[in-house]
Amino acid sequence: MTLKSVLVKDLMAGKSGDVGSVSVDATVRDAARVIADMRIGILVIFDANKNFKGLISERDIARVLADHGADAGDVIAVEVATKNVTGCKPDTDLEFVLESMRTKHFRHMPVMEGDKIVGVISMGDILRYLLNERSDFEKQKKKGSVFSKVFGG
């Protein structure tokens, strides 16, 4: 298995498809609550017509807290969100995604179909996928071993 042979849609197959989101009028407090409740690291910000307006991450929230102190929760989330993001398509290979994340220093990438976000993949998703693939490979390798042929393991 090479990273070029693994596509984003392969990773997305094991995900729920739920994308955490808030509206453009949501505060940082609102965004933090959704992130905490959903146990995720990033939210998509949409306007009323479901148009993408930005991404806000745990790191963005920490930065706002450091800059604004007690008033951080009242800041409008879209004001501190990342608006110019690198996305990918479901048929993008994993090598491109990982290289983009490495060189541009981010951990989440929106997955786009046309102009719509259909998911978000994270560095954690990629690691989980690769570890599962390795585990499956190791199991297959053991099944083909002399030990497993003799003892049925």
Question: What does pLDDT average to in each consecutive run of 10 residues of the chain (153 residues)?
Answer: 79 80 97 95 92 93 96 96 93 93 93 88 88 69 50 48
Crossing angle of helices 123-143 and 94-104, in 10° steps, is 140
> What are the φ and ψ backbone dihedral angles of 32, each rounded to 5 degrees?
-60, -40
CA–CA separation, 39 vs 139, rounded Å? Answer: 31
Give the model's pLDDT for residue 143. 57
Other beta carbons within 10 Å of 71: 11
CB 88 within 8 A of CB 8: yes
Query: Dihedral, CA atoms, 83, 114, 18, 110, nearest 10 degrees?
Result: -40
Select from 3.10.580.10, 3.40.50.2300, 3.30.360.10, 3.40.50.720 the CATH code of 3-148.
3.10.580.10
- Domain spans of the chain, in order of start: 3-148
Stated as kind and residue range, the H or E segment containing 111 is strand 108-113
Give the model's pLDDT for residue 147. 39
